Structure 1
Amino acid sequence: MDKVKGIADKTFNKTSFLVPLVAIILGLLCGAIAMLAGGFDPILAYQSLLKKLFGSPYDMGEAIRAITPLLFTGTAVAFAFRTGLFNIGVEGQFMMGMTGATVIGITLDLPWYLHAPLAIIVGALCGGLWAALTGYLKAVRGVNEVISSIMLNWVALYLSNYIIRAFFVAKGQQKSDPIQESALVSIGWLSDAMDHARMHWGTVIALLGIGVFYIILWRTKQGYELRAVGQSPDAALYAGINVNRTIVKSMFISGLFAGLAGVFETLGVFGYQTMLAAPWGYGFDGIAVALLGGNTPIGVLLGAILFGGLSYGSAGMSFGAGVPPELVRIVIGSIIFFIASHGIVKFFIKPFLGRRADKRKEAI
């Protein structure tokens, strides 16, 4: 009986690994079919994509730069998912983090060892508090977090634009004044080594954030309470856990990660904040990263590398094979579709798993 259980566990683990892998392959195949339908060469397109990613130190550095915000937003979404919440407001939290860092970066005149950390902390807190507002509405007023957070995305967009336009806009432009150099977080020596790619400390902090994500949820008492509330609020309440406070706490931590994504785009990449007509899109891509990664720390890392690489490499497909960048979004959308449609993916891998399981049973 134990041997049969062991076979079942191995089959489950193999399935959990194969589903995202097969989903990626199917997504790439769908992208290839779309390219063929449009008269493009998919082999040349994917070769051009890889060449864009690894063709020079500059391209590798810029690919890492494109991956970094997805590490933050993917972690933000995955953290909320693990605690039973659907944080679809990462986009708004991203913009509030960006705005908080911009305000500190422009207005204060401090030494670099105080200015940059303060801008990072304030920006992260702005993202966390913006997310905590969604948590408060759910905990106290019973408002569904999907509805409130997606509406707050647009509030954050227009509020950010208003703050920049009213107080910090550069004369005759649609962006803020430059952030003071003492608040910038670029890594000069690494940027020089990567042919002046926009490398910054956000990449290091994003990787540390993935570790923090794991430690908080699986190695602390607070993490146990957060996951318990996500699994069953009624059981958690019966066990003496303050459910409302835990919901707000979960959204606040999730918003901290999202806010950091915006902070480092401002302080590490651009050095100013632009007024936007629509959200950046990093928050919604973070949902895809979290789904692809199964809401696990390592999964988020791999998902961010895949999505960031595809997004940055799309320029290579355009120049090398004439493929419109929109076709890359078809690939990403196809991967998300197959990840969400486990039944379709399992249909493709079930015969393989069935034969392997039968052989193990026969061996027993």
Structure 2
Amino acid sequence: MSATTAQTPAPTPAPAPASTPARRRGQAWDTALVTVLSFVTALVISAVLIAISDKQTRDSLQYFAHYPGDTFRFAWSAIWHTYQALFYGAIFNPHTASNGTLSGYLGPISETLTNATPLIAGGLAVGVAFRAGLFNIGGQGQIIIGAVFAGFVGFHWHLPAGLHLIAAILAGILGGALWGGIAGFLKARTGAHEVITTIMLNYVAINLLGYLLSVKGFQAPPYGQAIANPVDHNATLPLLLGSSLRVHLGLILSLAAAALVWWLLKYSRLGFRLRAVGANPFAARTAGMHVENSYIVVMLISGALCGLAGVSQVLGTNPQITSDIDGGIGFDAITVALLGRANPVGTVFAGLLFGALRAGGPLMQQYAPIELVQVIQSLIVLFIAAPALIRAIYRLKTSGSSVGAELAKGWNG
């Protein structure tokens, strides 16, 4: 009788995990959905505030029990006209388009793009610093110094067309890089926290600009106002849509910077090193990476991007430097970076959104206080920074993600 050998059935293989590209696409859609819902929620809450701020709506509350329709009608009218004014000021205005001119058709979108240009560059600067674990809130100072360098070359030097513009752009980028590099150097060599040093450097830049605007040679004659000499025409950024519209070459430069930053941090060795340092500086140091040098390099890059924002301001939008040349962009850039989830593509769209809010804000004043634009921005940031709240409101599946966690993961596109 032959013995038969019992064979143990092979174990059923565990299902293969989802591919990395599939997981990334799922995470991207999840992030996009939460971002859109955050924006919509902010608009809904802002609509309530618009209705409350409307005088007719408030007055109709006195007889709400007898004629409730008046309250709802006045509230809807206030909300509709306010958001319509935002659309007219930022995207398309049929009233100005009726004149048949190019500026009438493209004027609103041109203002949106003009306002978005420095915000995109500034948002990229903040996002790059995030990748290395640093929080650069010195955008204001870096933009100012970049504008000073670019403006000085623009009005003090006299070079042929083309060469003069290139020299002014490079000077502005260099100025911002040097100012950001100071904070990076202090962080690397002394351990000084970048938040403190960048805040202090903001004040230094503000007061340095105030001094320069009182110095002959920098200040414009007849030396009675705090305004710099105008930039030569050879050093101004060319307009993209004709002389009647303000959008200029700075937009192309900011978009090119976004593409370069995306490639740098996704595919280059330097980008890998910066992401590794940002994820875990101790592990990066153990792997042989020079963490301190990475801090210096990333702040140089971040400052250079802020310098590019300053370039777009003084060579494109405002040809004469004034005390408010930064226009609050340095701090708005933090909001743009957060809204864009520190992703270069997201930062571009966030910059466009905030550019639209800035462009449409003045027209909104006909129906609501201009402060409502800032309220909308603040609410967007609030909900973006608290995705768990959005998930709870709309009963979405929890992924356990947050802005800080997503920034720590690295750039996945």
TM over 0.5: yes
Contact 2:143 2:326 in 1 (8 A): no
Residues 1:291 and 2:330 are matched in the alignment: no
Aligned length: 346
The one of 275, 284, 287 aligned to 1:239: 287
SS in 2 for 1:165: coil
Matched residue, 1:169:
219
Q: What amino acid does structure 1 have at the position aligned with 2:258?
A: I
- Give the conservation status (yes or no) of the 8 Å contact 1:186–1:198: no
Specify which of 369, 375, 378 is matched with residue 333 of structure 1: 378
Q: 1:203 and 2:251 equivalent?
A: yes
Q: Deviations over 1:82-123 (max 9, x none)?
A: 121111111110111000011111111110121111011011
1:59 aligns with 2:103: no
| Structure 1 residue 274, shift from structure 2 partner | 0.7
Query: Which residue, 187, 190, 199 being the options, matches 2:241?
Result: 190
Q: Distance in 2 between matches of 1:240 and 1:339?
A: 36
CA displacement 1:301-345 (0-9 Å, x = unmatched) = 1101111101111112113xx211111100000000111112211
User: CA offsets, 1:161-198, max 9 Å, x none?
Assistant: 212321411222221111111111122x6224xxx121
Which of 267, 271, 284 is equivalent to 1:219? Answer: 267
Cα distance in 1 between the residues matched to 2:169 and 2:273? 28
In structure 2, relative to structure 1, the CA distance for the partners of 1:12 and 1:202 (3 Å cut) is: closer
Residue 42 of structure 2 contacts residue 380 of structure 2 at CA under 8 Å; is this kept in 1? yes
Who is 1:362 aligned against? none
The residue number in structure 2 matching 1:68 is: 117
Measured in 1, the distance between the counterparts of 2:23 and 2:202 equals 43
* 1:259-274 → structure 2 map (5 Å cutoff): 259-274=307-322
Larger gyration radius, structure 1 or structure 2: 2
Residue 32 of structure 2 is aligned to residue 17 of structure 1: yes
User: Map of 1:76-95 to 2, 5 A cutoff?
Assistant: 76-95=125-144
Cα displacement (A) at 1:4: 7.6
Contact 1:178 1:271 in 2 (8 A): yes
Partner amino acid, structure 1, of 2:379: S
1:249 to 297, 302, 317: 297
What code does the residue aligned with 1:298 have?
V
* Runs of 4 or more consecutive aligned structure 1 residues displaced over 6 Å after TM superposition: 6-10
1:264-316 CA-partner distances (Å, limit 9, x unpaired) = 1101112110124x962101111111101110111001101111101111112
1:9 CA displacement = 7.1
**Which position in structure 2 is the counterpart of 1:36?**
51
**Kindly tell me: are residues 140 and 38 of structure 1, through their superposed partners in 2, closer, same or farther at Cα, counting changes over 3 Å?**
same
CA contact (8 A) 1:124 1:256 kept: yes
The answer on 1:180 being equivalent to 2:228 is no
Q: Is the 8 A contact 2:132 2:278 kept in 1?
A: yes
> What letter is aligned with 1:169?
Q
> Which consecutive residues of structure 1, in runs of 5 or more, have no partner in the other structure?
355-364
Q: Which protein has greater RCO, CA pairs closer than 8 Å, 6+ apart?
A: 1
Matched, 1:46 2:89: no
Give the AA of the match of 1:191.
G
Shift of 1:352: 4.5
SS at match of 1:275: coil
Q: Distance in 1 between matches of 2:181 and 2:24?
A: 38
Q: Is 2:388 the counterpart of 1:343?
A: yes
Q: Percent same amino acid among aligned pairs?
A: 34
More moved, 252-261 vs 22-31: 22-31
- Quick check: which one's helix share is greater? 1
What do the CA deviations read for 1:192-213 (whole angstroms, capped 9, x no partner)? 4xxx121211100100000001
CA contact 1:11–1:353 (8 Å) conserved in 2: no
- Give unpaired runs (5+ residues) of structure 2: 1-13, 55-74, 94-104, 399-413
Q: Structure 2 vs 1, CA of residues 12 and 64 (structure 1 numbering), >3 Å: closer, same or farther? A: closer
Equivalent residue, structure 1, for 2:61: none
Assess, with a 3 A threshold, how the Cα gap between structure 1 residues 9 and 94 changes in structure 2: closer, same or farther.
Answer: closer
Q: Which amino acid aligns with 1:306?
A: L
Matched, 1:114 2:129: no
Please state how far the C-alpha of 1:234 moved relative to its aligned partner: 1.2
* Alpha-carbon separation, structure 2, partners of 1:272 and 1:9: 46
Aligned-residue CA RMSD in angstroms?
1.9
Scaled by the length of structure 2, the TM-score of the pair is 0.80
Give the Cα–Cα distance (whole angstroms) in 2 for the partners of residues 31 and 352 of structure 1.
23
Distance in 1 (alpha carbons) for counterparts of 2:388 and 2:23: 18
* Candidates 274, 286, 308, aligned match of 2:355: 308
SS at match of 2:158: coil
Question: Is the 1:157–1:279 contact (alpha carbons within 8 Å) kept by the matching residues of 2?
Answer: no
